[in-house]
Structure 1
Amino acid sequence: MTSNLPNERKPAVIAAIAGGWVADAASLGLHWLYDSPRILEVGGQSPEFLTPKADYFEGGLGYFAHDGKQTGDVSHYGAATGVLIDSLLTCIGALNIRDYQRRFRTFFGPGGQWQGYIDNPTRITLDNLNNIEQNGIKEALSTTRTTLTDTQKRILVQKVLPYTRYLTGDQLAAPVRRGIDLTYKESDIQEAGVHIAETIDQHLIAESGANDMQLPAVSKLPPLVASYCGADDLMRVTEAAVRVTNHNDEAVAWARCAARLLDNLFQGDSMSSALDAASTEAPDHQSLALARSGSSLDGPGAGETHGRTCYLHEAMPVIFHILGHARSYTEAIRANIQCGGDSCGRAWIIGPAMAAIHGVGGERGIPLSWLARVADAHTRFADIESLVNGKWRPGVQENQPSACPAQ
């Protein structure tokens, strides 16, 4: 792992990332119901872990997006965070953009594992990744010096694409030649294939995200901050990760704010101190100051004042209000759900932040019963422990991350 996290802080960071999974799953049942009175009517004072039902949205403003999901499932935000965790575990705790992009595309794209709602940044990112690759293919075919038939062009592209999605630079030539040799023995055709692969590789770019300033920019940050906690390049890495899905300057600015908040909390700062430090990174200091003012927690009121939608300029002040006023993890998660709107997106900052302070169990920590309600909890929490403790995926060696392409 690349972070400077001392051993005594690792349990708190493990609890923090677990807090993100729990908060997301707890919020799913009423996610994107914008009507706080209707939320109170449906969920009462304990609105967490409701099975998503269209009936909840009748008579209230909202969008029912999670048909078929069950109690304990997570939203697309949690799914995207899991993709980044998989990449970090494969790449020895380091952000590798090419690996992250490939896993994101494989997981959310056609034939992938994800079944559920696809948000705007994800949809556009998938389109962008495909278009970037197709532009590289066009350039490669137009510049090859070997005369190829249309059939040969199609076959060579089919041959090289699996390699360009896993390998880069000097890693490409030898395996590409071996793959082409199964069909074409001619050296000039093999060289044309290498040229195609290398040209595609050179055209792939890191900034594949949508021009979008919504919550997917920050929801995936907890495991990344855990990997780079206290590191000098945390802000650079944060920006690089965000631009994979959200290629937008305002999204990056809010992500820097969220990353600074989590970084300070993971290192043991108080909530007040961490919120102060994070505010210096924010593109709108006044809204955050207003959100932190007052003496009582009011999730619905924060939503009325700042907004309940997915946009970061609405969500981040709501997050700051809840973090600045909640006295326990449970209180914070319930206030977030009762606020309404994009509760699952906000949960990925609120949950980790509160769990970093209060841990697991007791009057203020994550309830043990809530941990047990998260779907596939064993795998999710084991991955968190592996990431924070630097126990990489089988077959991945610290000096030779062969499963992860070079940057």
Structure 2
Amino acid sequence: MNHPSRSGENTRLINALAGGWVADAASLGLHWLYDSQRIDEIGGRSPEFLPPRADYFTSGFGYFAHKGKHAGDVSHYGAATRVLTDSLLATEGALNIRDYQRRFRTFFGPGGLWQGYIDNPTRVTLDNLNSIEKEAIEQARSTTTTELTDKQKRVLVQKVLPYTRYLSGAQLAEPVRNAINLTYHEPEVQEAGVHLAETIDRNLLPESGADDMQLPAVSKLPPLVASYCGQSNLMEVTEAAVRVTNHNDEAVAWARCAARLLDHLYRGDSLSAALDAATREAPDPKSLANVRSGSSLDAPGAGDTYGRTCYLHEAMPVIFHILSHADSFTGAVRANIQCGGDSCGRAWIIGPAMAALHGVGGEYGIPLSWLARVTDAPAILADIEALVNQTWTPTEQTHERPGCPAD
């Protein structure tokens, strides 16, 4: 049985992570519609969980990006958050950059499961991961001293790539030798293959992200912060995770701000204390301090002042304004949608923060009916509980079938 304080913290973390999924799904229908008046015309006082429809965007400025999605689905932000969640589950809560990169590439890349909008950081990250691997292959081939035919070189690269995408360091040699032995029995050829694998491994860069300072840098943080809640290396792992998709110093600074905010709220600190701690990490603390003043919630006004787009210097002040003035999860989510613009991206900080504060149910928490409206809710909630309660399940096979060609 969990210690009572630990049990209470786990409940708060589970509620918080669920809040991100609910807030994202609730916002999808009117995502990237920038006209607050048009949003009010369509959604009125209850703009949540509307089905994405192109005709919402026939007047007012906006971009319809979610054709084929349905009410209750999450955005590409949610899809990326699930990739990181899956990686954390597979590595027992520890950030493993190689595993995270592989899953990201597999899910969003050619032949992957994702069907929907691809944002700039994702598109550039996929390109970078391919380029980094190609450069690592060339470096490995150029430093191989064993005399090999061109055919042998091609085959060896195909043999080792499945392993360099899954394994690293001392894990590589034995499975690589076994895979090569299916085709080449000569020890010198096998050792050349091990050299290729180890050299590729050393040259695969962890900083694979785009030079981009938009919301994808922070939207995936909730499960990572939950895994490292209260730990001294939270800022270090935050930066490492962010640079996988957003290799930009300003993006990292805003991510540290968001991670600090969530960490304090996850641990049960007051909203005021959490906002104070997060503001000290921000690259623009003045804007965050300004939006906390005043007594009324005016998300469209905050959007008018600071901006509604995906850029973090616009989004974070709007997030802080809503958190500072909303008194319930429902009120915060509705205000975020009514603000317009990148509501789904902002939802991944607003939702977890408000759910950490107010929980599930009751007058102020996540409405139970909203939880039930999220597509694939049972599986999502089961993953959240497994991550927080550390009830790890056996991980997937760690390498492809020996001898199976890669690309």
TM-score normalised to the size of structure 1?
Answer: 0.95
Structure 1 segment 35-54 matched on structure 2, within 5 A: 35-54=35-54
- Residue ranges of structure 2 left out of the alignment (5+ in a row): 400-407
Structure 1 segment 72-221 matched on structure 2, within 5 A: 72-221=72-221
How far the C-alpha of 1:273 sits from its partner, in A, is: 1.4
Look up the match of 1:375.
375
Give the superposed CA RMSD.
Answer: 1.2
CA contact (8 A) 2:90 2:395 kept: no
Distance across 1 between alignment mates of 2:341 and 2:350: 15
How far the C-alpha of 1:395 sits from its partner, in A, is: 5.1
Distance across 1 between alignment mates of 2:192 and 2:376: 46
Moved more, 190-199 or 370-379: 190-199
Look up the match of 2:278.
278
CA contact (8 A) 1:208 1:243 kept: yes
CA contact (8 A) 2:167 2:398 kept: no
Q: Would you identify which runs of 4 or more consecutive aligned residues in structure 1 move more than 6 Å? A: none
How far the C-alpha of 1:70 sits from its partner, in A, is: 0.7
Structure 1 segment 276-355 matched on structure 2, within 5 A: 276-355=276-355
Look up the match of 1:393.
393
Moved more, 87-96 or 312-321: 87-96
How far the C-alpha of 1:195 sits from its partner, in A, is: 1.0
How far the C-alpha of 1:145 sits from its partner, in A, is: 1.1
Query: Are residues 395 and 59 of structure 1, via their aligned partners in 2, closer, same or farther at CA, if it must alter by over 3 Å?
Result: closer
CA contact (8 A) 2:260 2:278 kept: yes
Distance across 2 between alignment mates of 1:264 and 1:79: 25
Q: Deviations over 1:234-285 (max 9, x none)?
A: 1111111111111111001100110010000011011111111110110101
Q: Deviations over 1:205-233 (max 9, x none)?
A: 11111111000000011111111111011
Distance across 2 between alignment mates of 1:332 and 1:77: 19
Distance across 2 between alignment mates of 1:98 and 1:169: 11
Distance across 1 between alignment mates of 2:89 and 2:74: 20
CA contact (8 A) 1:24 1:344 kept: yes
In the alignment, residue 275 of structure 1 is paired with which amino acid? L
In the alignment, residue 72 of structure 1 is paired with which amino acid? G
TM-score normalised to the size of structure 2?
Answer: 0.95
Distance across 2 between alignment mates of 1:64 and 1:77: 15
How far the C-alpha of 1:104 sits from its partner, in A, is: 0.7
Distance across 2 between alignment mates of 1:268 and 1:227: 15
Distance across 2 between alignment mates of 1:167 and 1:191: 17
CA contact (8 A) 1:91 1:403 kept: no
How far the C-alpha of 1:184 sits from its partner, in A, is: 1.3
Matched position secondary structure for 1:6: helix
Q: Deviations over 1:94-144 (max 9, x none)?
A: 111111111111111111111110000001111111111100100111111
Q: How many residues align?
A: 395
Distance across 1 between alignment mates of 2:141 and 2:398: 28
Look up the match of 1:399.
none
Distance across 1 between alignment mates of 2:136 and 2:393: 32
In the alignment, residue 235 of structure 1 is paired with which amino acid? M
Matched position secondary structure for 1:60: coil
In the alignment, residue 33 of structure 1 is paired with which amino acid? L
How far the C-alpha of 1:193 sits from its partner, in A, is: 1.0
How far the C-alpha of 1:146 sits from its partner, in A, is: 1.7
How far the C-alpha of 1:149 sits from its partner, in A, is: 2.1
CA contact (8 A) 1:49 1:71 kept: yes
Look up the match of 1:259.
259
How far the C-alpha of 1:403 sits from its partner, in A, is: 4.6
CA contact (8 A) 2:254 2:312 kept: yes
- Residue ranges of structure 1 left out of the alignment (5+ in a row): 397-401
In the alignment, residue 121 of structure 2 is paired with which amino acid? P
